[in-house]
Structure 1
């Protein structure tokens, strides 16, 4: 393998770990498997990372950065419902692209929840999505009086539910009319909690 800087080696290890987790599952992502996949020896891996936990955290960070950075269309001037629908559709498209990626993300989330010293990772996962989606929603033409953070939280709840159902049942997603109905319902729920003024 060609010489890699410390930063390049870390990146190679994180990408290799992601491939192993996506392909074989979190339980299979031992440091030896990750090192083999990255083409580095175990000593180099342990020099770069302080164990599997640090690698898993870096993989989760990479997944979130990729997902949050996957904005497909500009949303400035859209209604709340249009932005929520686009978020639901974006995640449905990501699921279609590779169903093993969301499975890997959920495995990492459950791992973090089962490890008290990694609770911050689980919290950060949702905080990142909520913040990013709330920022998008603040561009809505009809946002006045609405809580963008609450809209984002409910949208993520819908995304999680749709994701899990699709993964469990092998479904290909929800139809356009269903996306319209779900996004409309989310806006309706928020407006019933905090009526716009």
Structure 2
């Protein structure tokens, strides 16, 4: 392997770990397998990372950055419903691109939840999605005092549900009318919560 800077070596290791987790599952992602996949020796891996936990965290960060980056489009002028639908569609498109990535993300999520000392990683992951979606929703033309964070949380919940069902059933997504209905329902729930009784 050609000479790599410390930063390039870290990136190569994280990308290798992601490939192993996507292809073979989290249980197979030992430091030795990751080092072999990255084309580095174990000493170089341990010099770059303190261990699997740090590597898994970096992989989760990479997956999240890719997913969030794919959702950053101009949404100025859209309604809440249009923006939510756009987010749902873009994540559905990610699912169609590579089913292995969301499976790997859920494996990492469950791993953090099975390890109480790592639970903050799961919370941080969701917090990033929610804050990013909330920022997009701030551009809605009809925001009118809506609870933006709650809108973002419900959108993340819908994405999770669609992802998991499609992974379980082998489906590639839901139809355009269903996306419209889900988006409308999320806005309706938020409006119902905040409407005077």
TM-score in terms of structure 1 length? 0.97
Q: CA deviation at 1:134?
A: 0.2
Distance 1:193 1:128 in 2: 24
Unaligned 5+ residue runs, structure 1? none
Distance 2:86 2:119 in 1: 30
* Residue aligning to 2:153: 153
Unaligned 5+ residue runs, structure 2? none
Q: CA deviation at 1:195?
A: 2.5
Tell me the SS of whatever aligns to 2:70. Answer: coil
Alpha carbon RMSD of aligned pairs, Å?
Answer: 1.0
Q: CA deviation at 1:120?
A: 1.1
* Residue aligning to 1:135: 135
* Residue aligning to 1:193: 193
* Residue aligning to 2:93: 93
* Residue aligning to 2:71: 71
Distance 2:137 2:195 in 1: 17
Cα distance per residue 1:52-103 (max 9 Å; x no partner): 0110000000111111111364211100000000000011000000001000
Structure 1 pair 176–72 and aligned structure 2 pair: CA distance change class (3 A): farther
TM-score in terms of structure 2 length? 0.97
Number of aligned residues: 196
